[in-house]
Amino acid sequence: MKHLIQISTMFLLAFVISTVTNAKTQVVKLVTEYHENPIGIDIKTPRLSWQLISDEDNIMQTAYEIRAAGSIKNLSKKSKQLWLTGKVESDKSVNINYEGAALKSMERVYWQVRVWDNNKKASDWSEPAFWEMGILETASWTASWITMPNEKEYDGSSRPAQYYRNEFDAAKKIKSARIYATSLGLFELFLNGEKVGDQLFTPGWTSYNKRLQYQVYDVTSMIQKNNAIGAIVGDGWYRGNIGFRGQHSYYGDKLALLIQIKIEYTDGSSETIVSNKNWKVSNGPILESDIYNGELYDSRLEMDGWNKTGFDDGNWQNVAEVNHSKDILVAPQGVPVKAIEEISAIELITTPKGETVLDMGQNMVGWIRVKIKGNKGDTIRMKFAEVLDKEGNFYTANLRAAKVTNTYIKKSDGVEIYEPHFTFHGFRFVMLEGLAEAPNLGDVTGIVIHSEMKPTGTFSCSNPLINQLQHNIQWGQKGNFLDVPTDCPQRDERLGWTGDAQAFSMTAAYNFDVSAFYTKWMKDFVADQLPNGKVQHVIPDVLNGDGGATGWADAVAIIPWTVYRIYGDKRILEENYSAITKWVKYMETRAGDDFLWTGDPHFGDWLAFASTSSSYPGATTEKDLIATAYYCYTTNLTSKIAKILGKTSDAEKYKKLAKSIKKAFADEFITPNGRLVSHTQTAYALALSFGLMPDDLVEKAAGYIAADVEKFKHLTTGFLGTPLLCSTLSNIGRDDLAFMLLNRKEYPSWLYPVTQGATTIWERWDGQKPDGTFQNVGMNSFNHYAYGAIGEWLYSYVAGINIDIKNPGYKHILLNPHFGGELDYVSANFQSMFGEIKSDWKLTDGEFVYTVEVPANTTATVTLPSVKLKNVKVNSVLNSKKLSGGKQLGNAVIFEIGSGSYSFSYSVE
């Protein structure tokens, strides 16, 4: 029976052509180091990128010209330019190194680019973009670190936040003004009573004693003739509770502040205002602020006008200057944490215990803004939880030692509005205590916070449960990507676990732009790596050097490799190459002459399916097998990286080492009949995905993993096996099993939590059991993204958006969709560095519909399964022209296409 398969599309333009130019190709979306118009960078050779848009098909850049200057008007004046490339014959439009005049501290540089396309048309110059340098030399920091003297000793509770202030004049007309600020602890900054910037949890979390970020703010419009500068500093990660070992003050015991204000006047003069001994400090209404435990805020202690001019600070203390290094100060490369969205409560619940609980409808990360009614002196407590228990009562046992409570004391008899400062919570439910009357739903607003990553990917399909799974994956990422990729956002942990991050890294990069986020985080791998090459379990390291676990420490190589693949970023490989090779050397030392990494403690296939039923067994994969597999994989990956970087001898060295490890693995862990000593899905997924099986035993191993899945009809994998499972099954030609696992709704599966009402990914397959009871309270997060790594397979295999590693960063795109699982349609897009990529397919009543879009300055290979070339028709959507070409490869047809929107149609048996 033949089905007509039409691959068509709606006429969608992914751009708007300007009406003020005749050029059909335009240059848009200029970025510097992955940021639009960044202020305060310290990269002396910043990289520039742009995109092209056109109303024509098959547009490629053939040349570009960049010009840069200190002002917009000087861009067109050759004598004033900092850089003019001239016409450069190149199709490169991503990460072009600046090669102009040496850059100076606090210098702003404007730049433009124009291009020539393959139709020999020149674009107009782009709209100007800019970047601004931060402080490049330590000597340029003239401010002093200041702190509160005679602070009370730590007594087990968080100490009060510190309030700093000073006043200054700016009598002349302002040309520009910048604040450069950082702290030991977290800070909020104010100028003339107004909050400066919208960033949260500044200066961010880094390996504070080695790398401390500062922020730069453009405050030109905020400066007045008479000014007051104020700051609040709280414990944060620096000296608050951190980790699950009861640690406090891990980085230091004293909070401190460093502020430098640079004002330039229109008459050419300038002035610098700095933090010094002339500043004042006091405590205020924030009596406790802790990331895990929450905030205690007594509004009766508010000091009206403390951050404005004319405030009487006679009762405040003089600050003390403190000797703390400025050599460690760095400009931020990541993306700031911000309040991204607001959500409303959906239900007010009175639990069987009589608790007043609000359901936000979504497991989120942040806090609530609440309107509080009552009397002066009333104490209102806000407690946070992810779930309700079996009986419908508020449940916090899984939060372990974290108190997750915000407490507010009213200052008046009127309505007051409160939200905290230096704490965040992972929650869906909020319990309110101490209210004079029951709240209205409108009294509470959920403030969702995370690093301000731009969404880049969407995936949807005809199965609403899978759509909810995708929703859960993305919300799990949002909630845990808060300056570092944490494992969970709610209990007394919230650490940058490396294994979780590497397993999820490709899915993360499909969902959001993580280029700058990962670039920043990798700096702390280098900072915290031990001299012997050991990479810690968590980055930044707060576990006192604990590390060296296979599959976790390998993140030092895997995440830079992900960034290279997704963004074509070669520099991240260069910057981390030494750390990567040190880690390989550490593994080499641990393995010894037999090339087998055995005997060391590891996490293994963490939280793999386990069962106490003899008829429903779990799966335990030998840790030595996993360790040796990753030893080979990362060594082989290091060889590839060395080759890309032009390190030929290193590439050969690591290739040879990987070959020896592979042979040792086969001798130790594979029987002559292709069976692994650990007969588990994870073991076979690792061996097949990492290329560890001898060629003549691949088919045998494929049969074993398929038989295991067929036998149990469910997955048995943990954190390391799960990301590889469906892709392994697909690669051995068993899409039927991969889709079966995807669609399974019973425990254990991806959709089981969805059927239980999950709105984020769970740490365990059965965090909440079918009878409503919970897993072990010691480790049962309901917002833990690791198992969300299935997202990579959804984007790359089901939707078919893939990377050509020979042309990374989607310069050349591989579009190869796969159908199955009773899905009627799949729609996916990805915002690459070149523009939007789309891959959609639809099957209705025997009619199949497929849409592709390819951005300008890229090409794509489209692979159509189960078809003969003679039956395929191809049309360009933009100009309605029929296209020819294509070649038969087995049962598939391959087309090479340029940019544009295309439709394909064909009939298949």
Please identify every residue annotated as catalytic.
Answer: 493, 763
| Burial class of residue 711 in the structure, from the number of CB atoms within 10 Å of its CB (0-12 exposed, 13-18 middle, 19+ buried) | exposed
Q: Is the preceding omega at residue 203 within 30 degrees of 0, hence cis? A: yes
**Torsions phi, psi for 197 (to 5 deg):** 75, 170
CA–CA dist 679, 18 (Å, integer): 61
Contact by Cβ (8 Å): 373, 432 = no
Cα radius of gyration rounded to whole Å, the chain: 29
**CA separation for the pair 269, 360 (Å, rounded):** 53
Residues 6+ apart with CB under 8 A from 251: 184, 208, 209, 237, 238, 239
Q: Is 156 exposed, middle or buried (0-12, 13-18, 19+ CB in 10 A)?
A: exposed
Query: Whose CA is closest to 244, among 397, 366, 400, 385?
Result: 400
Residue 295: strand pairing partners: 289
Q: Are 491 and 398 in contact (CB under 8 A)?
A: yes
Question: Which among 521, 500, 528 is positioned nearest to 563, based on CA atoms?
Answer: 521
Amino acid identity, residue 623? K
Amino acid (1-letter code) at residue 750: W
C-beta separation of 357 from 472 below 8 A: no
Nearest to 366 by CA among 240, 480, 241, 461: 480
455 vs 510: CA distance, rounded Å: 9
Q: Bridge-partner residues for 876, per DSSP?
A: 902
Tokens of 44: 């002396």
What pairing do the DSSP bridges indicate for beta strands 892-897 and 859-864?
antiparallel
- The dihedrals phi and psi of 565, each to the nearest 5 degrees, come to -65, -45
Sheet holding 887-889, edge to edge: 801-803, 812-815, 859-864, 892-897, 887-889
